[in-house]
Structure 1
Amino acid sequence: MKYLMKIINADPTIFAALGKEERNEIHRECGAWHEELEKKGQTLFAAALQPAETATTLRHSGGKVVVTDGPFAEAKEVLGGFEVLECADLDEAMAIAKRFPALKSGMAVELLPLVPDGGCMED
């Protein structure tokens, strides 16, 4: 089963307030954590994201597509990155997520099962 592990920066000011060496250490620990997942075949793809203010949002409104620079809604939490996990079940995905080093810096993770075979959800 594939799971999307959304890495959520619950309050960007907390991470920003850490010292440079502490932030770098968390980045190193996250890199080692990811390499371990690669060796075990438990990750399919991962990426960090640029800050939310670099986003472009598209919505359908009034019969046309409206483009907005930046995030559409103000939010305290921002998506910082993601990891696509390959796991036997939710328990395995949770065990992996619990070891994510950035949790100790105030970040959170959310696990979502992917629709099998990249298909669409049906009623």
Structure 2
Amino acid sequence: MFYAILAYHVEGVIQAMTPQEDAALMADLLRINTRLHEEGTLGPSARLGATADACTLRGPGDGTIIDGPFAETKEQLLGLYVVDCAKRDEAIAIARDLRRVNPTAVYEIRPIVLFKPGVPLAGK
């Protein structure tokens, strides 16, 4: 089963890091990524760009583009991991590993149901 591990953080905290602090954090996270890749567990992962560069599409018809994320939150979605785990507890363990190196982040673990046109949904 695939799980998304969504990484939330107060964006200002990340932006306030020195280049050295940011590089050290990313090196720690990369060690986890490398281990998960070697185990065959890691799917796509990404560090998202700044929310100031984001936009949201909402509304009927063609919709309206709104600058930035729409949600009013203190924490922003700053990255994500896709992991392939047999059980939810395995995905939670991975999120705990990520949190050990980035303790001020919040990680949401959510099952993913893959959608491919013409292919039945997994688990259905």
Q: Shorter-chain TM-score: what band?
A: 0.7 to 0.9
Aligned to 1:72, the other structure's residue is in SS state coil
Q: Which moved more, 1:94-103 or 1:40-49?
A: 94-103
**1:57 aligned residue:** 56
**2:32 aligned residue:** 33
Q: How much identity, in percent, do the aligned residues show?
A: 30
Deviations 1:10-43 (A, max 9, x none): x223334444423221110111110110000011
Structure 1 residue 69: Cα displacement: 1.8
Q: Which moved more, 1:72-81 or 1:38-47?
A: 72-81
**1:88 aligned residue:** 86
TM-score normalised over the length of structure 2: 0.82
TM-score normalised over the length of structure 1: 0.82
Matched, 1:5 2:5: yes
* Counterpart amino acid of residue 4 in structure 1: A
**What value does the CA root-mean-square deviation take over the aligned residues?**
2.2
Deviations 1:84-123 (A, max 9, x none): 000010111111111115432x111100001155566xxx
* Counterpart amino acid of residue 2 in structure 2: K
1:97-108 to 2 correspondences below 5 Å: 97-100=95-98, 101-104=100-103, 106-108=104-106
CA–CA separation in structure 2 for the residues paired with 1:70 and 1:46: 21
Deviations 1:30-57 (A, max 9, x none): 1111011000001111111001111111
In the comparison of the two structures, how many residue pairs are matched?
118
Q: List alignment gaps of at least 5 residues for structure 2.
A: none
* Counterpart amino acid of residue 94 in structure 1: I
Checking the alignment, whether the CA contact within 8 Å between 2:7 and 2:105 is kept in structure 1 is yes
